[in-house]
Amino acid sequence: MADSYYDPKDLRKFGKITEWSEELGTKFFDYYGKVFEEGALSAREKSLIALAVSHVVKCPYCIDAYTKDGLQKGITKEEMMEAVHVGAAIESGATLVHGVQMMNKYNKLSM
C-alpha cells in the first residue's frame, strides 16, 4: 500500500494527459506555457502566485512543482511562506464572507 494517495512520481506523467485527449491536452499545455511566459509579471512573481494558489486548491503535485520552481528562481523560504499566508487569508476571507449569506437567510427565516 502506498504511503499517500498522491504519488510524487505521477507529476512526471502529467504530460501524458494528451494521450487520451490530444487536442484538449495540447491546447491546455500551449495555454499553460503562454501563461507562465514573462509579461507584465515576471516569471518569479508568477511562480510565487502559483505556489500560493497551489496551496489554496490543495494540489500536492503543484506544491511540489512550484516549491522547486521557486527555489530555482531564487525565492526564499520566507517569501514562499508569506505567499502561502496570503492565499490562506484570501481563502478564509472568502469562506467567512459567505457568513453574510447565512445571516441574511437566518434573518429572513426567523421573521
- CA dist list (Å): 30 to 15, 27, 42: 12, 5, 19
Here the cell at position 7 is 504519488
User: Residue 4 pLDDT more than 80?
Assistant: no
- Whether the CA torsion 15, 20, 32, 27 is positive or negative: it is positive
What's this model's pTM, rounded to 2 decimal places?
Answer: 0.84
Domains within the chain, CATH numbers bracketed: 21-110 (1.20.1290.10)
Instruction: Give the per-residue pLDDT at 1.
Output: 45
> How confident is the model over 25-60, as pLDDT tens digits?
999 999 999 999 999 999 999 999 999 999 999 999
